[in-house]
Amino acid sequence: MPASSFLTPFEDALAGAGDLGRALIGRDRVRLAVTGLSRAGKTVFLTSLVANLLAAGQGARTLPAVEAAVGGRLRGARIVPAETQSTPRFDASGHLLALASDPPRWPERTEDLSTLEIALEIEPRSFLGKARGMLAGNRSVTLELLDYPGEWLLDLPMLNQSYADWSRETLARLRRGRRAQAAAAFLAFVDALPAGAPAEESLARQGFSLYRDALRTCRDTLGFRFLQPGRALNPGPRGEAPLLWFFPLPERVTGELAPLLRRRHEAYLDDQRSSFFDPFFRRFHRQAVLVDALGALHAGEEAFDDTAAALAAVAASLRGGLGLFDLLTGQGVRRVGFAATKADHVPSRSRDALLGLLGDLVGRDPAGPLDATTSVHAIAAIRCTEDDVATLEGRPVSVVRGVLMEGGVMRKVYPGEVPLRRPDAAFWEHAFFEMPVFQPPRLDGAGRAGIPHLGLDALLAQLIGDLL
């Protein structure tokens, strides 16, 4: 990762030695970060993951692929009590209560970093492990989870860009298609700036405000996802700071305003490295990236192409960047799982197509020996529907059946066809894709029986199964 240059070799070596020491005494720590393009369902994913792990620890067969990876040796799971951490705690119990309410409701999305630790008790497999277990008990694996805002994920491609390059690419995107209308006020502002624009605070603040409004409209109204910088949309707990007050400038603007915005752009990236990528992101071993590919199909051609561009940029950043010293110290992300969420919104026959579509968007460039490996998955962290059949224009079609959030009525839904790869122009000429909001199934408030899902276990097994 680009952030690695901001950590000293000593810090990396110390962290690696700590991980190795814990492993030798049967007290391993596995770190899994979870994020996704905005509104892909991170909170729901983590809530389901926690509930199903806890249920599996009580003997329920909620995660069969994980159980197989562990060899049937999982003997218990519990949430590790909080101590003196300064990072907010993921509120798994509160989110489970929302799902158990009458009627059930979806948990609120999180706007900040949060963490949670789950202690997994695993019966030793090797002779050495069994001998150690006779003295110290079963092996304990602490699964540390990190939830961070999806908007910040799009800062990763920025880390290797100069301010001039970022400005040129961002303005080019803003001038295309429906983005241009959403950003009309901002574009009028920057196009009217004189070449010798002064470094006036009021001018910088006005430009940032107009730029942020354009990003919000692109996200909330148009369904676009390739929006930078992430903290312009989600500043986090520290709120809005002066280093955020920058925006893309045309190359012709060469006055004192340009170096001011360039310095803020550089300060922003340095701050993201030092406050997030180094102390949090880089200390995690595995990364899950959630993508609402079906929602992008529903939003139309431009929103889909934007999601595809964002995903390709993120995949390129996550796939590469490990160095030889990273391999020696065990630091940095080694495996990345990209997951198309809400797979229960399409019938089973369409899920292979959804998997193919995501694979096409992520790309299948072979990883080098020092690169993170990637995989693609189609999942529903909480399954809300069942497969069914309906008649459409006199012929039977595969549909899904579920309870709608609006009105609380059971309905059969024909979502439309999922393309196997990025759609061509002919697809959009007759594009139809329906994405209703289904009601979650009513659950036990303590999550003791787990949560019904699709493919969550396979994703977890791929990401962390080898570490268990």
Q: Where are the domains of the chain?
A: 2-148+290-383+443-467, 161-275
- Whether omega for the bond prior to residue 103 falls within 30 degrees of 0, making it cis, is yes
Helix (H, G, I), strand (E, B) or coil at 323: coil
- What is the percentage of the chain residues whose pLDDT exceeds 70? 85
429 pLDDT band (50/70/90 cuts)? confident
Q: Give the end-to-end CA distance of the chain in Å, rounded to a whole number.
A: 25
Nearest to 164 by CA among 246, 243, 234: 246
Per-residue confidence (pLDDT) for residue 25, from 0 to 100: 42
| Angle at the Cα of 384 from the Cα atoms of 383 and 390, rounded to 5 degrees | 115
- The pLDDT value recorded for residue 132 is 53
Of the given ranges (19-23, 144-148, 174-178, 382-386), which has the lowest mean pLDDT? 19-23
What are 137's two structure tokens?
A: 């008990």
Q: Does the pLDDT at position 324 exceed 50?
A: no
Residue whose pair of structure tokens reads 């493919």 in the numeric block:
455
User: What three-state secondary structure class fits 199?
Assistant: coil
Tell me the C-alpha distance between 255 and 269, whole Å.
23
Whether pLDDT at 285 is above 50: yes
pLDDT at residue 43 is higher than 50: yes
CA-to-CA distance for 55 and 456, rounded, in angstroms? Answer: 14
Supply the pLDDT for residue 87.
82
**Partners of 454 in the beta sheet?**
380
Take residue 28 and report the two structure tokens written for it.
């391993």
Helix H segments across 126-199? Answer: 127-136, 150-153, 163-174, 177-182, 184-192
Name the least confident of 201-210, 266-275, 317-326, 418-427.
317-326
